[in-house]
Amino acid sequence: MIRDIRLHGQVNNIIEFYATISGENIDQRYFYTSSSEKDSNFDRFFAPGNEFIISKDGVTYNCNGGSVCEYMFGVEQPFQDMVKKDVLNRLAIYGTYYGEDEEKLVFSNNTTGFDSYSQMFFDMHAVSNYYFFLQLDKIRERKEEQELILKAIGKRIKRNTDVGDSNDVNLAQQILKDVNIPGAALFLFRIVNRPNQIYYEMFEKFYYEKKAISEEEEKTLREVADKYDIDQYQQERIKIDVMYKDHDNKTIIDEYKDVLISMEQDGSEEGKALINPKLTRLRTLSVRNNIPLALFDKLDNLILKGKEIVKIDEPDYILETREVLEGLFLMKGSDSEIINNEDLHRLLIAKKTSVEMRDRTFEGILLDTGRICDEKMNKENDTTALENFGYIVTFFDRYDATSTILSQLSFMEKDSINEDQVRSLLGHKKAFDELENGLFRRLFFEPIMENSYLAFYGRGKITALLRGLEQVEKGESTLQKVVEGLKDLSREESLYNIIHNKVKDRIRTFYSELNTKEEQTILKREVGRELIKTGVIKEEIPAHIFDKVVMNIKKEAIYLQNLLPQIINTTDSLLREDFIINSGLDRFYIEELEREYFRVNSLAEEDLNNIRKLAD
C-alpha cells in the first residue's frame, strides 16, 4: 500500500516546492488540483476542512497545522527558545497568539492567511521553509485541532534535525508518529528559494575550506548575487548563518549566548559585572578564530536589547586576568586553542603589575580558579581545565623562582648564586622568550634596572648575569665562568663596604680631609695593614676600590655640609634628586645619611619625609 507521495514543483525560476503526503491509504485520500493559466497559476492541495494553495505570489492557507523552519543565526527568538540549547527550529501554529500576560498561548478558529514569498524568506529561513496540515480521524473545532497538534508535535519538532537537513520523508513520519492518531494523513510542503540556496551552498563551500573567503571567491559570490538579484540583507544573514554553523565558531558563539542569557537571568548588578570578563574573553577568542564580531553584536542586540553591560571597577590588569582565566571554562569540546602564548604573556604582565602594586587580588583570583578547576574535575570528571590551569601555574612558578633569585642577587649584600641556579635561570629564560622574544629581559631585568634603590654593585651583578646568560646561550661562555664573575663582584662589594667603614672611622678620628695624594696613600697603607692582619685581604687594597671609597666619601661630605642644609631650607627636592642621580651614590645609603643628619641636628623627620614626597 502507498504510504508516501512526493511531488516536486516549480513556481518560477526562483521558487520551487516539494510536497510530501504521508499516511495510510494515501493514494485514495490525496486531493490535488492545479491551474496553468497565465493569470491563475497555482497548485492546490486539500482534504476535508483543509486547503493549502501554492501560487505565483505566495502561499495561501485555510487549514490546521502551521509552519516550521530552522532558526537562522541572529533572528528574533522567543526567550524560552533561546535559553534551550537543543531548540533548533521555529514553529508557528496558525491562529495562535499570546494573551495579555504574554506567557499563555491562546488558540483561535481563525487559521486563514497568506504569506508572500518575499515576506516568507525575509521573516523565516532564507533558503527553505516548511508548511503543513493534517487530515485527522474526524473534523473538530479548528482551535481544538490546533491545540491537539501543538501538544503532540511541538516539543519534538522544534528539536528535529530533519528540518534543517530538508529530510522531508523522515520529518513527515516523525510528525505522524507524534500525532499518533490512526488514519491521520499529513500534507507537508517545503518551499525553497533557489537563488538563495545556490548562494548559501557556494558560500558554505568556500568558507569551510579555510574559514576565510578569498578575493576571487568574493568576486564569484558577488556575481551570483547580481545574477539572481539577491539583496544585501539576505547575503549577510546567509554568511552569518554559515559562519555560525562551523563547529569551532558555534562553540564560541553558543558560549557567548549562554553567558548573556545567564547574565539576564541573574539580574544582580554584581553578577552582571562578573560576567563581563567572560564575554571579553570570548570576543578575543573569536578574533583568533576569524569569527566576525558582528555575530556577537547580533547576540548583544537580541538578548540585551540595548542595555549596557556593567563593568567591574577594577584595574585593567585584574580585568585581563579574569578574562584569560575565564577561558579555561569556555569552549568545551572545541578544537580551538584555549590558552596560547599571548594569553600567558598577558597573565605574566598582570602578575608583574600586581606584585609592583602589592595587590593581592591577583593571587585571590588564582586560588578561586584552582578551586573551580578541582570542583569541575570532581563533578564532571573533566581534567581539561585543570590541565590548562596547571600549564599556567608552571609559568607562575618560573616567575616566582626567577624573581626570588634576581631580587636576592640585586638587593642583598654578599649574595651570589651557584651553577644550579644559573642553569635554572637559563631554562626559565628560554621558556619566557619562547612566549615572546625578549620577554625574560622585560619581565625581570628592566624593572630591576629601573628601580631607584638598586645599588651600584647590585646593578653590576644583575648586568653581568644577563650578559653571562646571553653568552652561555650563544656558546661564548660557561655556567662556571658566569658564577665566578658574580662571586668576584660580590667579594668586591663586601670589600668596598669594609674599606668604606674603616676609612670613615679613620677620617673621623685622625683626619679632617683627604685632599692630598700623600694623605690618601698613608690612609690606604694603614687600613690595608689592618685588613691583612684580620685576614680580610692577603695583599694591599686594590687601588680602584680605595679610590672609589675616597671619591664617594668626598661626595657624602659635599652633600651633608653644603647641599642638604640648602635643600632643607628651601625644600628643594629637585636639587636633592639631581644629586642622587648624578653622584653615583646609592639612594638607600643617602637616605641613611639624611636620617643620621636629622637625628644629630634634632630636626623633625617629618620635614625630611615631606622633601622626599615632593620628589615622588
In this structure, how many other beta carbons lie within 10 angstroms of the beta carbon of residue 323? 22
Residue 398 CA: distances (Å) to CA of 47, 161, 428, 429, 483: 77, 50, 6, 9, 20
- One domain, residues 372 and 407: no
- Greater confidence (118 vs 305) lies with 118
Tell me the C-alpha distance between 468 and 450, whole Å.
20
CB within 8 A of 553, min separation 6: which ones?
A: 500, 503, 504, 507, 514
Tell me the C-alpha distance between 141 and 162, whole Å.
30
Q: What is the pLDDT of residue 479?
A: 93
- One domain, residues 301 and 362: yes
The 10 Å CB-count burial string (b at 16+, else e) for 54-72 is bbeebbbbbbbbbbbbbbb
Q: What is the pLDDT of residue 291?
A: 73
- One domain, residues 166 and 272: no
Contact between residue 435 and residue 510 where contact means Cβ atoms under 8 Å apart: no
Closest to 80 in 3D by CA, of 72, 70, 94, 90: 90
User: Does some domain include residue 177?
Assistant: yes
Percent helix, strand, coil in the chain (nearest 5)?
Answer: 60, 15, 25
Q: What is the pLDDT of residue 240?
A: 87
pLDDT for 216 beyond 90: yes
- One domain, residues 137 and 281: no
- One domain, residues 29 and 78: yes
User: Does some domain include residue 222?
Assistant: no
pLDDT for 105 beyond 70: yes
Q: What are the residue ranges of helices labelled H in 20-136?
A: 79-82, 117-123
Contact between residue 306 and residue 355 where contact means Cβ atoms under 8 Å apart: no
User: Does some domain include residue 241?
Assistant: no
pLDDT tens digit sequence for 374-413: 887 888 887 888 888 888 989 989 998 999 899 888 888 7
Q: What is the pLDDT of residue 310?
A: 56
Residue whose cell numbers read 487549514: 63
Tell me the C-alpha distance between 501 and 513, whole Å.
16
What is the pLDDT averaged over residues 365-371?
Answer: 85
Q: What are the residue ranges of helices labelled H in 510-600?
A: 517-533, 543-558, 564-570, 573-583, 587-600
Contact between residue 108 and residue 96 where contact means Cβ atoms under 8 Å apart: yes
Contact between residue 81 and residue 98 where contact means Cβ atoms under 8 Å apart: no
Domain range for residue 165?
4-193
- One domain, residues 372 and 426: no
- One domain, residues 149 and 57: yes
Cβ burial of 503 (10 Å; 0-12, 13-18, 19+) is buried
Tell me the C-alpha distance between 150 and 20, whole Å.
20
Tell me the C-alpha distance between 235 and 239, whole Å.
6
pLDDT band at 306 (very low <50, low <70, confident <90, very high): low
Min mean pLDDT across 151-165, 437-451, 523-537 is at 523-537
Helix (H), strand (E), coil (C) string for 245-310: HCHHHHHHHHHHHHHHHHHHHHCCHHHHHHHHHHHHHHHHHHHHCCCCCHHHHHHHHHHHCCCCCC
What is the pLDDT averaged over residues 350-365?
Answer: 86
Contact between residue 157 and residue 175 where contact means Cβ atoms under 8 Å apart: yes
pLDDT tens digit sequence for 404-456: 899 888 888 766 789 999 999 999 999 999 999 999 999 999 999 998 889 89
CB within 8 A of 451, min separation 6: which ones?
A: 410
Distance of CA 56 to the CA centre of its chain: 50
Q: What is the pLDDT of residue 528?
A: 87
User: Does some domain include residue 216?
Assistant: no
And the C-alpha cell for 167? 529530510
In degrees and rounded to multiples of 5, residue 609 shows phi and psi of -65, -35
pLDDT for 270 beyond 60: no
CB within 8 A of 443, min separation 6: which ones?
A: 348, 349, 352, 399, 402, 432
User: Does some domain include residue 559?
Assistant: yes
pLDDT for 331 beyond 60: no
Share of the chain above pLDDT 90, in %: 45
Contact between residue 50 and residue 133 where contact means Cβ atoms under 8 Å apart: yes
pLDDT band at 318 (very low <50, low <70, confident <90, very high): confident
pLDDT band at 513 (very low <50, low <70, confident <90, very high): low
- One domain, residues 363 and 408: no
And the C-alpha cell for 465? 648575569
Domain final position from 461, 496, 531:
496
CB within 8 A of 244, min separation 6: which ones?
A: 73, 250, 253, 295
In degrees and rounded to multiples of 5, residue 94 shows phi and psi of -55, 145
Tell me the C-alpha distance between 249 and 247, whole Å.
6
Report the DSSP beta bridge partners of residue 62. Answer: 51, 112
User: Does some domain include residue 266?
Assistant: yes
Share of the chain above pLDDT 70, in %: 90
- One domain, residues 168 and 288: no
Closest to 345 in 3D by CA, of 429, 439, 282, 270: 439
pLDDT band at 173 (very low <50, low <70, confident <90, very high): very high
- One domain, residues 402 and 376: no
- One domain, residues 139 and 18: yes
pLDDT tens digit sequence for 453-481: 898 999 999 999 999 999 999 999 999 99
Tell me the C-alpha distance between 223 and 384, whole Å.
46
Quote the number of domains for the chain: 4
Q: What is the pLDDT of residue 384?
A: 82
Residue whose cell numbers read 575565564: 326
Give the global pTM.
0.61
Closest to 153 in 3D by CA, of 240, 40, 68, 43: 68
Q: What is the pLDDT of residue 131?
A: 98
* Length of the chain, in residues: 616
Domain final position from 317, 347, 382:
382
In this structure, how many other beta carbons lie within 10 angstroms of the beta carbon of residue 198? 16
Report the DSSP beta bridge partners of residue 97. Answer: 106
User: Does some domain include residue 231?
Assistant: no
Tell me the C-alpha distance between 156 and 206, whole Å.
33
User: Does some domain include residue 492?
Assistant: yes
pLDDT band at 124 (very low <50, low <70, confident <90, very high): very high
- One domain, residues 277 and 129: no
